[in-house]
Amino acid sequence: MRNLKLFGITVLLGVVLTIAFAEDNWILAAIVGATVVATGWLVAHVYPRDLAPPADRRHENTQRRRAGMKPH
């Protein structure tokens, strides 16, 4: 399953669960549920890929480029 489709399903599930527990303001509960799930996705999927500082990533890219330039 693609990440975008899975993201949509989990956001929808978060909205449904918060509406199920809400007593009065269902619209606010839906907004809060979607926001909490979207934040969780950002932390789980985007943050770990962005842990390396830019200098390290530049060094890795340079190493990959140099490895590709070697004659075989």
What does the pLDDT look like over 21-45, one tens digit per residue?
Answer: 888 999 999 999 999 999 998 888 8
Q: Taking Cα atoms as reference points, which of 45, 47, 43, 19 lies closest to residue 33? A: 19
Res 4: pLDDT: 84
pTM as predicted = 0.61
pLDDT, the chain, mean: 83
Q: Where are the domains of the chain?
A: 3-69
Is residue 62 predicted with pLDDT exceeding 90? no
